Amino acid sequence: MVDLSRADFIGKGSSRVCFVHPEDHNKCIKIAYSGNLRVVSEEMKYYRRYLRRGVSWDMLARTYGFVDTSLGRGVVFSLAHDFDGEISKSLDFYLRGENGHFSKDDLGLALMEFKAYLFNQRILVRELKPDNLVYQRLSSGRGRIILVDGIGNNELLPVANYLTIFARRTLSRKWRKFEQRLREMFESCNDT
């Protein structure tokens, strides 16, 4: 059992809390607090599928499976760090202008590379949201986006799981919604 009583807290999402793994600072442990373990079970099904397919983990947090902790059962994931050793922050953090280590040009390039990654690897997401993505600073002027939460397919008929053409259609639709959300965020930031 992993004792999380002294583990560093990373953040809290809509259904899970996340801690730095106390025995390996390159990993984190997510613990469900909402009682809805269906999402965790569904997510792990997709991770197993991606493991079998041999996807690239360059822009997707890798899972290392379940672990028992002092706070209950959790899931271990890789933890992104910036070039300076700091834990990578969410894309939402940067979009809200809370840090000066960020340029719009680099964001554009990182987003294009991330989009290409999702399509090439056929990584399905329930929803693309800035708080489910981290921006890993690779240097002072360059970074990449990593998906850390939200994988899966929440469509009624999940044919995108099996046919590439439907996977691309699903990703295209979800990417358009994501772009719209980003535009709205930028507009609201510029209005203040």
Dump pLDDT digits (tens) for 110-124: 999 999 999 999 999
Beta strand residue intervals within the chain, DSSP E: 9-12, 16-20, 27-32, 63-69, 72-78, 89-90, 133-139, 142-147
107 vs 53 pLDDT, higher one: 53
Dump pLDDT digits (tens) for 31-51: 998 766 777 888 999 999 999
9-78: what fold? Answer: Phosphorylase Kinase; domain 1 (3.30.200)
Q: How far apart are CA 27 and CA 80, in angstroms?
A: 8
- pLDDT at res. 74: 94
Dump pLDDT digits (tens) for 65-93: 999 999 999 999 999 999 999 999 999 88
* pLDDT averaged over every residue in the chain: 91
Q: At what angle do helices 104-121 and 164-191 cross, to 10 degrees?
A: 160
Q: CA 151, 154, 156: angle at the middle one, nearest 5?
A: 155
Span 98-121, mean pLDDT?
86
- pLDDT at res. 163: 93
Residue ranges of alpha helices (H) inside 26-163 are 38-53, 91-95, 104-121
Span 7-16, mean pLDDT?
91
- pLDDT at res. 106: 87
Longest Cα–Cα distance of the chain, Å, equals 49
Cα dist from 104 to 11, 39, 98, 110, 133, whole Å: 25, 33, 14, 10, 16
- Of 131, 58, 61, 146, nearest to 95 by C-alpha is 131
- pLDDT at res. 39: 78
**Eight-state DSSP code of residue 125:** B
Q: How far apart are CA 65 and CA 48, in angstroms?
A: 10
> What burial class does residue 34 get, using C-beta atoms within 10 Å of its C-beta: 0-12 exposed, 13-18 middle, 19+ buried?
exposed
pTM for the model stands at 0.92
Could you tell me the pLDDT band of residue 101, with boundaries at 50, 70 and 90?
A: low
Instruction: Please check the confidence at residue 151 and state whether its pLDDT lies above 90.
Output: yes
- pLDDT at res. 64: 96
Instruction: Please check the confidence at residue 52 and state whether its pLDDT lies above 80.
Output: yes
- pLDDT at res. 184: 85
